[in-house]
Amino acid sequence: MLQDAYRELEGKEMEVMAMMLNGEDMFVRCRDHEAQLLRRKLVQLKAALNDTKAKADKIKVMRQQLSVIKLFSPRPTGLKITES
């Protein structure tokens, strides 16, 4: 689920960057208290973007590791091993 959200976000990264640049431009034209609110919202947007990327990267690495483990793990044969 997070991977799907990340793929969708990855396709919109240019849009997000444009929004951030537009927000920076708005700072110049806004009153101080409005600029502070915009700045907080932009910080939250950047943090959410970075957090989502980091989580998606961790999931990607874990899936790669799991596929390697599955590749080299012995297949169950249905035989039971008992101690004598």
Residue 50 lies in a domain: yes
Residue 57 lies in a domain: yes
Q: Residue 28 belongs to what domain range? A: 2-72
Give the CA distances from residue 3 to residues 18, 22, 27, 40, in Å, rounded to whole numbers and listed in that order: 23, 27, 33, 27
Residue 24 lies in a domain: yes
pLDDT at position 77, please?
59
Determine contact, residues 43/24, Cβ cutoff 8 Å.
no
Higher pLDDT, 77 or 52: 52
pLDDT at position 84, please?
47
Determine contact, residues 19/45, Cβ cutoff 8 Å.
yes
Residue 66 lies in a domain: yes
Sign of the C-alpha dihedral, residues 48, 49, 53, 54? negative
Q: Going by C-beta distance under 8 Å and a sequence separation of 6 or more, which residues neighbour residue 9? A: 16, 49, 52, 53
Q: How many domains does the chain have?
A: 1
Prediction pTM value: 0.51
Query: Distance between CA 9 and CA 3 in Å, rounded?
Result: 10
